[in-house]
Structure 1
């Protein structure tokens, strides 16, 4: 039975929670800002489209969400789909029609309660996804920390779109071309964050727990870069026009407020490709959202369980609004959600606040935020990645046994060396295969005392048990007195049923006494007490 979070509206919100939600919202904003811009670049879409999607994901989806800690926005996993779709349809305005339709499809999925399918993903795969995302964040941010910003922020695929490198070769190139200024800023920021974290863990003062350390790091990064400009020009990373900085687009002089928005070209409704693209976006975005929602619930310190159907409805509304005003497709995003949780968020107010701050940044804060070096934001993201992929998580998963560790590690490696969806698919398939394999190793037990043989069925017999059972029957010898007891099985597969009965002729020919007890195609499930009495 699914529990739901107790805070579903703002009517019972406690003002005391603002001490946690405001700093968390600010931290998420600083993480989301470069990601929104980077994903827009990777998608081949206008820069403002990423910011618009971030604003809608924060405010609209945040208010309607089925989760108190999940944060939505443009997703790296959709970047390739978006880029291909824009090229196929021919214009970004026509693509926006597909985004609106995708939102409508998601709304329908939520209304028909399709969110229940999230329960089919193994727990070990969800754990692996969180760890893998943490590792990918660290690996992808190392080049930015070293001053190599050729790759888009927010691109999580192993094979990079921007420069033709992969995750590992990009790190090698970054080491070769490391910028002293970026290294000093990122290392100083990282050391500061580690020190702040330790002080917050030991101190009884609430200041260190509630004040957003990410904000201090950003201010420190700006000040260091300005110091380099004056004192060490060769270390200076540049100003608002350089790739090493946050680059929020500004409204061109003479343009009005509405000039930053793109609107759907409704004539695209006559193009069949639009509907296929909309369905693809809806399915992929819904899958990512459901997976990220499961992951967010796992991170939530209060262990609330989100409403998956409500989340699909929220995502549907969000994508419809985003598409109508020129935004990219939206999903729940683990990077933002984990930054939100680790920032101390209590409720959805933090997600809404991050959306409001993105809105303010678009219209008022561009010139100031464009002074922020990406290297200091890389340090913030590296800390988030480490918290997701702590070594203790590997040890715990290993101690849980091979049935948990193998799908876990396959998911981790799959995501790190391919992308999120492929890694999840690989981990899920391996997890299901491993569960099936281990489960059908113990469906029956063969007990031998001399020539007395009992084949005791321990659970239902499906077709996957056929090879082991066939091997057991083949091991019987002339003179054996064999009883096959199927009393505990509520279901026996038709192939196995035929095989057991066909063996009667083989047993007679080989001089084996062979008896079947309670072996039926549809065995009535007996009460536990009756089974115990009969045995």
Structure 2
């Protein structure tokens, strides 16, 4: 497939995929705004900007941007500390500028230095949290009437513990709709059904939503006790004109633009949003069926422009989001047109059909997200990583545990630390090759240094040299080495001195001699 296809060439695949992403993104946009302590409409604005603006400028064919659940706690704290949402928006504008600078300076290359095991662990961790956090929706829990109580990715362990009390508050209408919805999604995923005309043309999530609305209407007229009322359905503001939309926009307050608090928030959002974007971009490329590589610097630039606009009109900060991106890929998207479609649908939905959207049971959306979560954290993924060995499995599993127990960035950080430890261990073990032979001149030990010998290899080399017995002939061969650190050269020079006490003859080949200031 051409790496830069005509955006209108695959509308048959991209429009249905964009619709699926829209259905996934809509409740998240609203819920993230609520959980962030921001105006509800700021989540919708962020979704529209993430889809249309970032989608247009991005070089990725599969990644979809929107309000960042991983930033929710940061946003909530920032709004509280800065004193108002308007002042917070000024920090979002600055964060956008910082990301644009990152893009211009080509800082996106940092994303290439995250190992596959950590990225897969990130996907699986997000999938697990997504499943956990959708359970209350699936059971129709509505004690608080607040979507923010169960937003995915926010590790509220009190809410997780409360899952054990669901039996007392279960809404059986929601349970029925969830079961029916999951059944449809499973059927739609069957290979035989996918090959059929109907399965190809009609996305399963659309059928789930339509059937969920229909089932709830049946409950209302025939089984009222099962009927899901307003608090268990999507809640959108009703708009009658573009003027109403404009009235919901919020503009930044730059009066505190020089304060250190605003800049700290801006830098924090700029860095974390960029890192989350690069990781999500890498993850999206890994699940792209065409294995296209997205330009990270262009993505940072696009995200920066998007966040600047969000700051100016009242939107939450956005990043590339793996849940939306994975839903996009698994729904058959082929170009970034699907991201644009999802953004246009978000805007059109709040303008044209908010009343209809408010009929959608949250249980339907929960079922869609449960399936997305399952696809991100399949049992087969764990088996595959385990077969690759501990150096792949341990960073993978530590990343998952860190994300589930703490948060996204802590989990990634822990996984990276474990991966780096394995790199250090490999460097320690692979610094040299030891060969021992017996000749007429006596026992000869040849130590062949590897291609690159750094200070990380010093410990391994010292251990090998210390274990050499008396009366040996030692040849230290650097013929294959392109780089030998000063630390290693110093170890060799020191060994030449200490070897005399053990009657060891030392010979070096292609190794630069250095002067040691003091050997005592």
TM-score (norm: length of structure 1): 0.90
Task: Pick one of 137, 155, 173 that aligns with 2:151.
Answer: 155
Q: Which runs of 4+ in 1 moved over 4 A?
A: none
Task: Pick one of 206, 211, 233 that aligns with 2:224.
Answer: 233
Q: Is it true that 1:52 corresponds to 2:40 in the alignment? A: no
> Does the CA contact (< 8 Å) of 2:187 and 2:193 recur in 1?
no
Task: Pick one of 461, 467, 475 that aligns with 1:475.
Answer: 467
Structure 1 residue 317: Cα displacement: 1.0
> Does the CA contact (< 8 Å) of 2:126 and 2:153 recur in 1?
no
Task: Classify the secondary structure of the residue corresponding to 2:429.
Answer: coil
> Does the CA contact (< 8 Å) of 2:103 and 2:298 recur in 1?
yes
Task: Pick one of 343, 348, 361 that aligns with 1:360.
Answer: 348
**How is 1:23-34 mapped onto 2 (pairs within 5 angstroms)?**
23-34=16-27
Aligned residue in 1 for 2:451 = 459
Tell me the distance in 2 between the aligned counterparts of 1:409 and 1:521.
46
1:265 to 1:305, Cα distance in 2 relative to 1, 3 A: same
Aligned residue in 2 for 1:111 = 104
Tell me the distance in 2 between the aligned counterparts of 1:481 and 1:303.
53
Aligned residue in 1 for 2:236 = 248
Aligned residue in 1 for 2:518 = none
Task: Classify the secondary structure of the residue corresponding to 2:148.
Answer: coil
How many correspondences in the alignment?
507
**How is 1:318-357 mapped onto 2 (pairs within 5 angstroms)?**
318-357=306-345
- Post-superposition CA distance 1:226-280 (Å, at most 9, x none): 22223333322213xx1x2211133599x84422111111223243322221111
Aligned residue in 2 for 1:13 = 7
Structure 1 residue 5: Cα displacement: 3.3
Task: Pick one of 274, 297, 303 that aligns with 1:315.
Answer: 303
The unaligned stretches of length 5 or more in structure 1 are 523-535
Task: Classify the secondary structure of the residue corresponding to 1:73.
Answer: strand
- Post-superposition CA distance 1:440-493 (Å, at most 9, x none): 212112233463322222332222222222221221222222222222222222
**How is 1:107-506 mapped onto 2 (pairs within 5 angstroms)?**
107-149=100-142, 152=148, 155-157=151-153, 159-160=155-156, 165-167=158-160, 169-198=161-190, 201-202=192-193, 204-239=195-230, 242=231, 244-251=232-239, 256-449=244-437, 451-506=443-498
Q: Which moved more, 1:229-238 or 1:318-327?
A: 229-238
Structure 1 residue 76: Cα displacement: 0.6
Task: Pick one of 62, 74, 87 that aligns with 2:67.
Answer: 74
> Does the CA contact (< 8 Å) of 1:4 and 1:306 recur in 2?
no
Tell me the distance in 1 between the aligned counterparts of 2:70 and 2:298.
22
> Does the CA contact (< 8 Å) of 1:77 and 1:156 recur in 2?
no
Tell me the distance in 2 between the aligned counterparts of 1:154 and 1:317.
30
Q: CA RMSD in A?
A: 2.3
Tell me the distance in 1 between the aligned counterparts of 2:300 and 2:8.
27
Structure 1 residue 196: Cα displacement: 1.8
> Does the CA contact (< 8 Å) of 1:157 and 1:418 recur in 2?
no
- Post-superposition CA distance 1:380-414 (Å, at most 9, x none): 11111122222222222222232222222222222
> Does the CA contact (< 8 Å) of 1:62 and 1:348 recur in 2?
yes
Structure 1 residue 154: Cα displacement: 7.2
Tell me the distance in 2 between the aligned counterparts of 1:208 and 1:120.
39
The unaligned stretches of length 5 or more in structure 2 are 515-520
Tell me the distance in 2 between the aligned counterparts of 1:23 and 1:456.
60
Tell me the distance in 1 between the aligned counterparts of 2:88 and 2:283.
30
> Does the CA contact (< 8 Å) of 1:491 and 1:521 recur in 2?
no
Task: Classify the secondary structure of the residue corresponding to 1:380.
Answer: helix
Task: Classify the secondary structure of the residue corresponding to 2:128.
Answer: helix
1:170 to 1:154, Cα distance in 2 relative to 1, 3 A: closer
